């Protein structure tokens, strides 16, 4: 039996703000969308140009406060084909929240506070 990761879900307060962030910061584009008939939720799947892995952004109409992210120990990691250019972009966007030069990585925050790890191609 074999399993393949299809997507990772995160809930967002402002879907449009998140869509703009993920496009600008990571080049992720909307692959598909599902909207509840009653308007109670919208689910948007984002992917890179390979279309292999996806991030699922879920917006819930009833949510009126920031999500509790606990100790922020979970994260999604992205390999940057041009680490220096990525670092420059994220510095300009002012979204770098943690740097670890010894490991050669850094983290950015999305609009809801989720940590996204940026790794150079090795």
pLDDT digits (tens, 9 = 90+) for 63-77: 999 988 877 678 899
pLDDT of residue 62 exceeding 90, the answer is: yes
Residue 95: the pLDDT is 98
Residue 35 zone, left/alpha/beta (φ > 0; ψ -120 to 50; rest) = beta
pLDDT of residue 87 exceeding 70, the answer is: yes
Residue 52: the pLDDT is 82
Domains plus CATH for the chain?
A: 7-62+74-120 (3.10.180.10)
pLDDT in tens, 19-30: 999 999 999 999
Supply 100's token pair. 């670890």
- The pTM (predicted TM-score) of the whole model is 0.89
Catalytic residues: 117
- In this structure, are strands 29-35 and 7-12 parallel, antiparallel, or unpaired? unpaired
């Amino acid at each position: 039996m074999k399993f393949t990761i299809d997507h990772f879900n995160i809930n967002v307060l402002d879907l449009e703000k998140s869509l703009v962030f993920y496009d600008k910061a990571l080049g992720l584009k909307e692959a598909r969308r599902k909207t509840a008939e009653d308007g109670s939720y919208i689910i948007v799947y984002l992917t890179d140009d390979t279309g292999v892995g996806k991030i699922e952004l879920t917006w819930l109409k009833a949510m009126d406060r920031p999500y509790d992210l606990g100790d922020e120990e979970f994260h999604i990691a992205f390999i940057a084909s041009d680490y220096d250019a990525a670092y420059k972009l994220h510095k300009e966007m002012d979204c770098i929240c943690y740097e670890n030069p010894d490991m050669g990585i850094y983290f950015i925050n999305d609009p809801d506070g989720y940590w996204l790890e940026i790794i150079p191609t090795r």
